[in-house]
Structure 1
Amino acid sequence: RYPDEDAGQLPMAFIVRQPGSNLTRQQVIDYVAKHVAPYKKVRRVAFVNAIPKSPAGKILRRELVQQALSMGASKL
């Protein structure tokens, strides 16, 4: 989730593209919108090289949030 002044947090997707993939931000948003409730719709999409994980394999969500904040809203 991405911090937001009005809503508190907004749903965000971090996507690792497969080699040769031309998946777009809008395709991700449209796909998710068809499968979730309106309040769960993805508002931001970031394409990353890898998802940070702990040695146990858990996703390090705090690192993703920090990465999103460091990228800035203009790049998302």
Structure 2
Amino acid sequence: MDKTLGYLREILSNYTDKHAEGKLLYKKLIEGNYDSEETFVRNLNRKEVDFLNKILPDEIKYALAEQDKLRAYQLNEVYELLI
């Protein structure tokens, strides 16, 4: 799994308890054999895209607040693919 998908997996793990969509996306990411974030995004349905569009801006802001520019950049890569 590439680094970007690793960051995405990590943030999705925070949404598995209270969000059914987060749990499904986490499972999809873990069980899928995705070699890039582009491959992963191409396999998302509208509901999954909407969920990621909802959570990623806050996660990117959090990464920037923590001065983790690499993480923010990688998550932004996924966010841009969703648009």
TM-score between the two structures when normalised by the length of structure 1: 0.29
Larger radius of gyration: 1
Q: When you count helix as a share of all residues, which structure comes out higher?
A: 2
